[in-house]
């Protein structure tokens, strides 16, 4: 039986109607259960059910649906089409309903071997709510059929709270979800080429790209029939290939910038408590705030995490800092991200961190190695893995801060490029430790996990999302990403510090930073210097134009070099610094070397990850004499990594071209700015 597409609605209701799409291809013995469950809904609005016969080879399919259409007139519809696969059948059903009901509110997808409870559509619609950003409501999965439980049901929870970060790792939304019609109206449909599985995951990621998100329908009554030959079981055999295809299709979602933004929003790394306050600030990027919780709400979050660490995120580190020092750090945001990056990478499990502002060029040191002569401030940092162990081992009757047994504090010093900004006397470590203990005591008691025996969490673990997404974008093991959680365009500018003592070079750098601002770039300035280089006497008027400043310690040796076309090419970036720069480059779109910056050595690695590298050679950054010959050798050696050289000095361009540098890679400043126009 073939149903023609109607020209208008059969009847209207006060509330926009809901549609149900049931693709049918095989398994006619289960189809009747699905259709009946969809038609017999207790719902506060009209609803329509369409069965899409996707070229099913069983004649019983059409006969059975035809008989049910007599039972559910003006509710059940049916049409048959040439086989297109599950995604094509779902799309056809949606388009049928959109034509049938122009005021369609939402669409529910029900596979032919599953079923829903009489209250399900209302439960899904209640969960969907009226927030237009919420594009779909997804269920917990009550599995029946092939089940390991004696009572026949096996309930799977994929995400207690919707989380974009988790959705990038695994599909946390079952296809049996209610989708707002605006998702389809925005142009999001199933990818009809994905006929081997994971087509629903691909669909949800498309909805994410369109600006929608999901929401859990906790008690939805959705029932999933588990069979050994199901499409899901088959797709698991092709999992690696399908995931690679998904990442390729949705490349923008897997860009480092987006992953770090989602981490900041869904799983902030730092919990910052300013002493004397009643709040905890959550963030991955210390220049931004993800959320602010009361001490009580933070305690509840800790309890939730302690019971279910796989399901719920909790900050990796708690930081205790005084109001004076927090205000000081925020007043100089150019080094705020750098400081927190160093804390995340280098601070031991529990430590007092001394932030030191000096005129010398240091990156990280420990007191037993050297005591920096500069202005200090203190904070305490504790890794929450250690915290969870300490609290779970604590007794519930603890009443005083002295009862909480924490390991001894380690001590580290981080030199911050603040250029000796004013600082008050540091808060004594003991005072900070007392406040830390008070917060931890407030989080007691914690109890081990307890869960109903038929309910299991099967979504991506919180640890897995960081391991598979956040860690992998660093390119190196045991590294952490630079904490920038902005989707803005970013430029990384390498500046040899000797330029900071030449007014003409400083003016050129300032003009470059100002122009990048007009192009809506955030700017990260990498200052290249040998160890213990002093900034005393340097012109720092440009610093206020930068968003971030990062120190880069170069090798002090002239013995590290390679040979290219018979010339020595000195290498100034050591292994550790190379790792640092590679991590930094993941957050940047554009890389600029002011003159012959050592950053030229890592432009090739940055290029592989999508960053575009240029060398900026105006008069202020040019060299002459024998040094010019060395510089030309460097440019020729790394020519493959350079997108372009920006210069309007004809003589220099001609000389370098004569050496073999491709003339097509030269740009005038005007051509460069046109390339990077909005």
The share of the chain scoring above pLDDT 70, in percent, equals 84
Average pLDDT, the chain: 84
Q: Which of 56-65, 357-366, 576-585, 646-655 has the lowest mean pLDDT?
A: 357-366
pLDDT at residue 16 tops 80: yes
pLDDT at position 317:
94
- The answer to whether 177 and 201 are in contact (CB under 8 A) is no
Compute the average pLDDT of residues 277-295: 93
Quick one: CATH architecture of 489-675?
A: 3-Layer(aba) Sandwich (3.40)
Confidence at 370, pLDDT banded by 50, 70, 90:
very low
Q: Does the reported pTM lie above 0.85?
A: yes
Strand, helix or coil at 129? coil
> For 91-100, how does the pLDDT look when each residue is reduced to its tens digit (9 = 90+)?
999 999 999 9
Q: Which residues are CB-contacts of 167 (< 8 A; sequence separation ≥ 6)?
A: 159, 173, 204, 205, 208, 214
Say which residue, 199 or 531, is predicted with more confidence. Answer: 199
Identify the H or E element spanning 646: strand 644-646
Question: Which pair of structure tokens corresponds to residue 249?
Answer: 């299709």
* Best CA proximity match to 379, nearest among 299, 293, 264, 274: 274
Confidence at 233, pLDDT banded by 50, 70, 90:
low
Domain borders along the chain are 18-250, 259-442, 489-675
Taking CA 168 as the corner, what is the angle to CA 165 and CA 173, rounded to the nearest 5 degrees? 95
- The β-bridge partners of 551 are 527
Q: Strand pairing of 317-321 and 291-294? A: unpaired
pLDDT at position 653:
84
CATH code for the domain defined by 18-250: 3.90.550.10
> For 416-440, how does the pLDDT look when each residue is reduced to its tens digit (9 = 90+)?
765 555 555 666 677 788 888 788 7
Confidence at 360, pLDDT banded by 50, 70, 90:
low
Q: CA-to-CA distance for 115 and 469, rounded, in angstroms?
A: 35
Question: Which pair of structure tokens corresponds to residue 328?
Answer: 């000081």
Q: CA-to-CA distance for 626 and 1, rounded, in angstroms?
A: 88
Identify the H or E element spanning 160: none
pLDDT at position 153:
59
Q: How far is CA 191 from CA 201, 206, 233, in A?
A: 10, 9, 20
Q: Strand pairing of 154-157 and 455-457? A: parallel
Q: Which of 153-162, 545-554, 639-648 has the lowest mean pLDDT?
A: 153-162
Q: Which of 216-220, 366-370, 549-553, 625-629 has the highest mean pLDDT?
A: 216-220
pLDDT at residue 173 tops 90: yes
Q: Which residues are CB-contacts of 74 (< 8 A; sequence separation ≥ 6)?
A: 10, 11
Q: CA-to-CA distance for 115 and 106, rounded, in angstroms?
A: 18
pLDDT at position 332:
80
Q: CA-to-CA distance for 76 and 389, rounded, in angstroms?
A: 56
Taking CA 254 as the corner, what is the angle to CA 250 and CA 255, rounded to the nearest 5 degrees? 115
> For 493-520, how does the pLDDT look when each residue is reduced to its tens digit (9 = 90+)?
999 999 999 999 999 999 999 999 999 9
Q: Strand pairing of 317-321 and 270-274? A: parallel
pLDDT at position 126:
96
Question: Which pair of structure tokens corresponds to residue 560?
Answer: 């590290």
pLDDT at position 447:
63
pLDDT at residue 192 tops 60: yes
């Amino acid at each position: 039986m073939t149903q023609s597409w109607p020209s208008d609605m059969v009847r209207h209701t006060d509330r926009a109607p809901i549609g149900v799409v049931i693709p049918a291809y095989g398994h006619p013995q289960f189809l009747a259960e699905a259709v009946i469950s969809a038609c017999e809904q207790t719902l506060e609005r009209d609803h329509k059910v369409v069965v899409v016969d996707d070229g099913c080879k069983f004649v019983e399919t059409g006969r059975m649906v035809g008989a049910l259409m007599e039972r559910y007139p003006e509710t059940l519809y049916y049409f048959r089409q040439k086989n297109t696969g599950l995604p094509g059948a779902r799309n056809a059903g949606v388009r049928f309903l959109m034509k049938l009901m122009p005021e369609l509110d939402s669409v529910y997808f029900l596979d032919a071997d599953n079923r829903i409870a009489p209250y399900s559509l209302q439960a899904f619609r209640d969960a969907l709510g009226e927030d237009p950003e919420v594009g779909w409501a997804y269920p917990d999965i009550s599995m029946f059929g092939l089940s390991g439980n004696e009572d026949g049901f096996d309930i799977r929870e994929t995400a207690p709270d919707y989380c974009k970060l988790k959705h990038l790792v695994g599909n946390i939304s079952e296809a049996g979800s209610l989708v707002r019609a605006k998702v389809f109206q925005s142009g999001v449909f199933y990818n009809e080429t994905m006929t081997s599985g994971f087509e629903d995951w691909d669909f949800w990621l498309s909805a994410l790209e369109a600006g929608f998100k999901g929401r859990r329908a906790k008690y939805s009554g959705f029932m999933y029939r588990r069979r050994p030959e199901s499409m899901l079981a088959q797709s698991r055999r092709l999992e690696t290939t399908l995931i690679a295809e998904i990442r390729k299709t949705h490349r923008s979602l897997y860009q480092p910038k987006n992953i770090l933004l989602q981490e900041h929003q869904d799983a902030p790394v730092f919990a910052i408590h300013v002493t004397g306050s009643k709040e905890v600030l959550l963030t991955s990027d210390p220049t931004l705030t993800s959320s602010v919780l009361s001490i009580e709400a933070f305690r509840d979050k800790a309890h939730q995490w302690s019971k279910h660490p796989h399901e719920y995120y909790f900050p990796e580190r708690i930081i205790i800092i005084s109001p004076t020092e927090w205000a000081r750090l925020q007043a100089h945001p150019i080094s705020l991200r750098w400081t927190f990056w160093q804390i995340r990478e280098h601070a031991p499990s529990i430590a007092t961190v001394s932030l030191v502002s000096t005129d010398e060029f240091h990156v990280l040191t420990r007191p037993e190695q050297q005591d920096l002569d500069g202005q200090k401030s203190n904070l305490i940092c504790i890794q929450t893995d250690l915290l969870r162990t300490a609290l779970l081992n604590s007794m519930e009757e603890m009443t005083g801060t002295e009862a909480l047994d924490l390991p001894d504090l380690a001590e580290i010093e981080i030199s911050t490029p603040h250029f000796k900004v004013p600082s008050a006397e540091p808060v004594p470590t003991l005072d900070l430790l007392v406040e830390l203990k008070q917060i931890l005591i407030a989080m007691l008691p914690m109890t081990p996990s307890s869960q109903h025996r038929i309910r299991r969490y099967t979504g991506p673990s919180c640890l897995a999302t960081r391991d598979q997404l956040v860690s992998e974008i660093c390119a190196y093991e045991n590294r952490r990403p630079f904490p920038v959680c902005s989707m803005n365009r970013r430029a990384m500018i390498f500046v040899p510090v000797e330029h900071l003592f030449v007014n003409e070079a400083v003016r050129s750098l300032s003009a470059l930073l100002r122009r990048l601002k007009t192009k809506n770039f955030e700017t990260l300035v990498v200052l290249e210097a040998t160890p213990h280089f002093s900034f005393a006497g340097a012109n720092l008027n440009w610093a206020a134009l930068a968003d971030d400043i990062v120190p880069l310690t170069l090798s002090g040796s002239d013995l590290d070099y390679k040979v290219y076309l018979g010339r020595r090419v000195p290498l100034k970036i050591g292994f550790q610094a190379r790792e640092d720069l590679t991590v930094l480059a993941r957050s940047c779109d554009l890389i600029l070397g002011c003159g012959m910056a050592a950053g030229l050595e890592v432009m090739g690695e940055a290029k592989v990850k999508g960053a575009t590298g240029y060398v900026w050679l105006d008069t202020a950054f040019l060299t002459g004499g024998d040094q010019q010959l060395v510089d030309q050798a460097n440019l020729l050696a790394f020519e493959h990594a350079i997108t372009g050289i920006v210069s309007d000095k004809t003589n220099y361009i001609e000389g370098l071209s004569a050496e073999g540098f491709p003339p097509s890679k030269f740009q005038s400043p005007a051509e460069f700015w046109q390339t990077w126009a909005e």
